[in-house]
Amino acid sequence: MLNLDQYSCLGEALRDAVDRWGDETCLIESDRDRERTRLTYSDFKELALPLARALEDAELHAGERAAIIMSNQSKWLISAYAIFYCGAVLVPLDYKLTAAEQLQLLAHCKAKFAIVEYYLWRTMMQSPDLKNLKALVLVTEAPLSADLANGFRWEDFRRKGDPVFVPRKREDVACIVYSSGTGGRPKGCVLMHENYLEQCKSLTTWYPFWPGVRYLSILPTNHAIDFMVGFIGPFVCGACVVHLRTLRPEFVRDAFVRYKITHVSLVPMVLKNLERGLRAKFEALSGIKRFVLDYFIALNKSFTRARPNPKLSRRLLPQIHKAFGGELAAMFTGGAFMEPSTLEFFYELGIPVANGYGLTEAGTVLTVNDLKPFRADTVGKPLPGVELRILNPDSEGIGEVAAHSKTVMSHYLDDPELTAETIVDGWLLTGDLGRFDGKGHLQLFGRKKNMIVTEGGKNIYPEDIETAFEGVPVKEYCIFAANYLWPEKTLGREMLVIALRLEEGQEFASALKDEIVSRNRRLPDFKRVGGYLVWEKDFPRTASMKIRRAVLAEEIGKSRERTAVSEL
């Protein structure tokens, strides 16, 4: 891989990577069983430089912001490369947000350019908020007959002639990544080139890539993990990234085999789905076949106790490994949500799943399992260069995890108050509760802050959801994460609760419940409120009439039990 110490910015490292790995396959894009694109690093460069030149000619200057709103595909990475080549700041936005949310974030980050997939632009064009859009929009894959309003076709937006590479310093801003918070307070993490270069260096120390590695990119590329492990990491190592346009489970399974995938990152939900599928197949085996399978699984387990032995595992359990393409070296998953039994299930089959922990504010990853030996009950050890502390530990050693590392973001965009609450004396306060075990592994036990993380890896901030309930006929309401009201040393049972303060003399009638249920249904499934409780006192408020959430949460938590929550 490239020696990242010698680079001052991502654009420079990526530029050298495409030159160094010229003939290696860099990107494969498949739609169902049809391969749409296969590019070498040289092909990639040929596609990216005319775009970079056109962006330069359109006056995208160093430090200015260009957003990408696209599902995972080669055009995402080509666009990102061109943006970095111009020295501009990349703003990767979640393509699963609503058009209104995307437009809100484009305005918040003051994007000069936005590169948007056609089907998303189609919806954005219908949004009343479009009138506030200041960015110049490049639309990918638009039909020739499509009306793009003021947008330009991405495919036509290219110029001949070499663009001028614009270098940046390590402390310059590389990306603004929204860690969620699309309601009243967008949380744009401002990440520097240093953050990414250091993160990439430390991750590849434990999990190196090389030419021949084929990484299956399933997590959204706008997400910190895929951006690092499915773009920057593979590129600086000359590896290949495989994109799928269809993420249906059956096509994902086929892709493992067709492209002999070696590495993949998955959210817990997908991993559990794979586990369910395999378990069902095992259950369906006849008695003797099942006996033989169990015997070889036990044998594999005993031989891989100290560390993985992929070659041996593939020989002992060939059918299972063939179903994953036969070359799968490791799967990565994030989070405390991962059930140890799922991790153990795969490890016993000879497929190591490296469980890690991180947050956008910390670059990507703070800890990951090094598989020496495999541990299913922790989120691993701090990566090289990452210092972690447990603040105010209780009698069991559990306290808030704080991180100090060159990978920690600079600040939240335009929010010094939130930055000051989050980064204190150079330490990032994660809001997660954890402790170290005797072997230096971090174990997570819950969350101190008012948020939940879904099984699909989404951060949900209750404040962001409150607008969906505006106008509900009650005196006031407030939404909390149940685990924030009633802290538990667990990450299970996460749900959102709406606290309702009724008008004087008002009863909680079925019409009111129907109204709340109806509003709730308009939210995406992962943002829905799970229960409600009626609160008999006025909410405490600040002088500027904002709800004092922390105070209210404490009052509710102390005077009510979790069982007081009624299901919606």
Quick one: 252 or 408, whose CB is closer to other proteins?
252
Q: How far is the CB of 560 from other proteins (least distance, A)?
A: 25
Window of 82-90, 145-153, 302-310, 517-525 that interacts with other proteins by CB under 8 A: 517-525
* Contact string (CB under 8 A) for other proteins, positions 91-120, x = contact: -----x-x--------------------xx
Query: According to CB under 8 A, which residues from 386 to 405 bind other proteins?
Result: none
Quick one: 221 or 262, whose CB is closer to other proteins?
221
d(C-alpha 80, C-alpha 60), whole Å: 13
Going by C-alpha positions, the residue among 508, 468, 549, 453 that lies closest to residue 180 is 453
From 91, 270, 349, 502, residue interacting with other proteins (rule: CB under 8 A): 270
d(C-alpha 241, C-alpha 399), whole Å: 38
- In sequence order, the 6+-apart residues with CB closer than 8 A to the CB of 471 are none
Residue for token digits 């690092």?
A: 228
User: Two tokens at 46?
Assistant: 């040929």
- Could you say which DSSP state residue 249 is in? H
Quick one: 221 or 450, whose CB is closer to other proteins?
221
Quick one: 472 or 517, whose CB is closer to other proteins?
517
Query: According to CB under 8 A, which residues from 226 to 255 bind other proteins?
Result: 245-250
Quick one: 277 or 310, whose CB is closer to other proteins?
277
User: Two tokens at 549?
Assistant: 């959430």
144: exposed, middle or buried (Cβ count in 10 Å: 0-12, 13-18, 19+): exposed
- Could you say which DSSP state residue 450 is in? S
Window of 148-156, 336-344, 480-488, 524-532 that interacts with other proteins by CB under 8 A: 524-532
Quick one: 118 or 165, whose CB is closer to other proteins?
118
From 37, 40, 127, 273, residue interacting with other proteins (rule: CB under 8 A): 273
d(C-alpha 366, C-alpha 359), whole Å: 8
Q: How far is the CB of 83 from other proteins (least distance, A)?
A: 23
Q: How far is the CB of 251 from other proteins (least distance, A)?
A: 9
3-state secondary structure of 269: helix
Quick one: 268 or 352, whose CB is closer to other proteins?
268
Report the chain's C-alpha Rg in angstroms: 24
Window of 267-275, 359-367, 417-425, 497-505 that interacts with other proteins by CB under 8 A: 267-275
Could you say whether residue 455 binds other proteins (CB under 8 A)?
yes
d(C-alpha 304, C-alpha 315), whole Å: 13
Quick one: 3 or 123, whose CB is closer to other proteins?
123
**Cβ atoms within 10 Å, residue 417:** 9
User: Two tokens at 51?
Assistant: 């775009």
User: Two tokens at 261?
Assistant: 């995938």
- In sequence order, the 6+-apart residues with CB closer than 8 A to the CB of 60 are 66, 83, 86, 88, 112, 113
Quick one: 40 or 273, whose CB is closer to other proteins?
273
d(C-alpha 64, C-alpha 173), whole Å: 10
Window of 229-237, 268-276, 392-400, 501-509 that interacts with other proteins by CB under 8 A: 268-276
Query: According to CB under 8 A, which residues from 295 to 354 bind other proteins?
Result: none
Quick one: 170 or 245, whose CB is closer to other proteins?
245
Quick one: 60 or 529, whose CB is closer to other proteins?
529
Quick one: 248 or 289, whose CB is closer to other proteins?
248
Helix axes 118-125, 99-108, angle to 10 degrees: 90
Q: How far is the CB of 391 from other proteins (least distance, A)?
A: 35
Does residue 61 contact residue 87 with C-beta atoms inside 8 Å? yes
Tell me the number of residues near other proteins by CB under 8 A: 21
d(C-alpha 432, C-alpha 273), whole Å: 26
Query: According to CB under 8 A, which residues from 32 to 71 bind other proteins?
Result: 32, 71
Q: How far is the CB of 119 from other proteins (least distance, A)?
A: 5
* Contact string (CB under 8 A) for other proteins, positions 159-178, x = contact: --------------------
Q: How far is the CB of 248 from other proteins (least distance, A)?
A: 5
3-state secondary structure of 34: strand
From 425, 525, 536, 561, residue interacting with other proteins (rule: CB under 8 A): 525
Could you say whether residue 456 binds other proteins (CB under 8 A)?
yes
Window of 105-113, 164-172, 212-220, 519-527 that interacts with other proteins by CB under 8 A: 519-527
Q: How far is the CB of 349 from other proteins (least distance, A)?
A: 21
Q: How far is the CB of 492 from other proteins (least distance, A)?
A: 16
d(C-alpha 247, C-alpha 32), whole Å: 9
User: Two tokens at 427?
Assistant: 């330490």
Could you say whether residue 514 binds other proteins (CB under 8 A)?
no
Q: How far is the CB of 117 from other proteins (least distance, A)?
A: 8
Kind of pairing, strands 381-382 and 367-368?
antiparallel
Burial 361-397 (b: 16+ CB within 10 A, else e): bbbbbbbbbbbeebbbebbbbbbeebebebeeeeeee
H/E stretch holding 399: strand 399-404
Could you say whether residue 269 binds other proteins (CB under 8 A)?
yes
From 289, 307, 389, 521, residue interacting with other proteins (rule: CB under 8 A): 521
Quick one: 96 or 258, whose CB is closer to other proteins?
96
Alpha helix ranges (H) inside 356-435 = 416-422
Could you say whether residue 373 binds other proteins (CB under 8 A)?
no
Question: Measured on CA atoms in the order 419, 425, 426, 429, is the torsion positive or negative?
Answer: negative
Going by C-alpha positions, the residue among 200, 253, 35 that lies closest to residue 27 is 35
Residues that bind other proteins (CB under 8 A): 32, 71, 96, 98, 119-120, 245-250, 269-270, 273, 455-456, 521, 524-525, 528
